[in-house]
Structure 1
C-alpha cells in the first residue's frame, strides 16, 4: 500500500518521535511504501529512517525551495514547483493518507485533503494520528462542526482518529482493502 504521510519536519521530543518511529517500522515491515514530503530533517527523517530500515520503500515529494533538505537514497524523489503541486502529487501517488503531528503546514495539508474528500474529489481513507493527544482540540472542533451541521457528510466518513500507529494501520488495511 502507498501510504501518504503528512507530518512535521521539526525536531521533536520523544513524545512524538518514539510513536512515529514505531509507526514507521510497522509500515516498513508490512512492505508498504511511504509517500512523504521528502525532507531528511526532523520528524520526516525519523519516519523515513524507520520505514527504510524496516524494508519499506520511500517516495519523496519535495518542493523547489526545500530541495536542499531532500533525502538521498530514496526509491523515487519528485520535486514539485510549489506546495499546492506537492500536495496534489502526494495524494495522487497514495492509496491512503495519514496525518501525523505538525505545524501550520501539516494543518494546511490536513484540511485540504479533508476538503477534497468532503467534495468527493477523492475517496481515500484518511487517518489523523493523535499522538500524545496532540489533535484533541482539533478533534473536538471537527465534532462540533459535524454536530452543528457544517459538514455535508458525517465526520466518520471523512476521517478516522487513531490514538496509535497499530490502530491507524489496522484501519487503513481494513478500509483500503489492501494488505
Structure 2
C-alpha cells in the first residue's frame, strides 16, 4: 500500500519522534511505500529513515523552494512547482493518508483531504495519529462540527483517530483489505 504521511519537517522532542519512528518501522516491515514531502530534515527524516531501514520504499514529493532539503536516495522523487501541486501529487500517488504532528502546513493538508472526502472526491482512508494528545483540541472541534450540523457525513466516515502507530496501520490495512 502507498501511504501518504503529512507531518512536520521540524526537529521535535522524543515524545513525537519515537511514535513516528515506530509507525515508519511498521510501514517498512509491512512492505508499504511512504509517500511524503520529500524532505530529509526533522520528523520527515525520522520517518523516511525508519521506512527505508525497515525495507519499505520511499516516494517523495518536494517543492521547488525546498529542493535544497530533498532526500537523496529515495526510490522516487518528484519536485512540484508549488505547495498546491505538491498536495495534489501526494494524494494522487497514495492509497491512504496519515496525518502526524505538524504545524500550519500539516493542518492545511489534513483539512484539504477531509474536505475532498466530505464531498465524495476521494474514498481513501484517513487516519489522524494523535500522538501525545497533540490533536485533542482538533478532535473536539471536529466533534462539535459534527454535532452542530457542519458535516454532511458522519465524522467516522471522514477520519479515524488513532492514539498509537499500531492502531493507525491496522485501520489502514483493514480498510484496504491488506493482511
| Same structural fold, with TM-score higher than 0.5 when normalized by the shorter chain | yes
Aligned counterpart, 2:142: 142
Partner of 1:178: 178
Alignment partner, residue 101 of structure 2:
101
Consecutive unaligned residues in structure 2, runs of 5 or more? none
Aligned counterparts, 1:1-179, within 5 A: 1-179=1-179
Tell me the SS of whatever aligns to 1:62. Answer: strand
Q: Distance in 2 between matches of 1:118 and 1:86?
A: 21
Shift of residue 178, structure 1, vs aligned partner: 2.7
Q: CA deviation at 1:50?
A: 0.2
Q: Aligned-pair distance for 1:105? A: 0.2
Q: Superposition RMSD on alpha carbons, in Å?
A: 0.5
Quote the offset at 1:177 in angstroms: 1.5
CA distance in 2 between counterparts of 1:168 and 1:44 reads: 18
TM-score (norm 2): 0.99
* 4+ runs deviating over 2 angstroms: none
Q: Distance in 1 between matches of 2:130 and 2:105?
A: 17
SS of residue paired to 2:172: helix
Cα distance in structure 2, aligned partners of 1:178 and 1:110: 24
Distance 2:51 2:127 in 1: 18
The CA distance in 1 between the partners of 2:31 and 2:176, in whole Å, is 15
> What is the number of equivalent residue pairs in this alignment?
179
Distance in structure 2 (CA, Å) of the matches to 1:107 and 1:139: 12
Residue by residue over 1:58-117, the C-alpha shift from the partner in whole angstroms, topping out at 9 and shown as x without a partner, is 000000000110000010000000000000000000000000000000000000010000
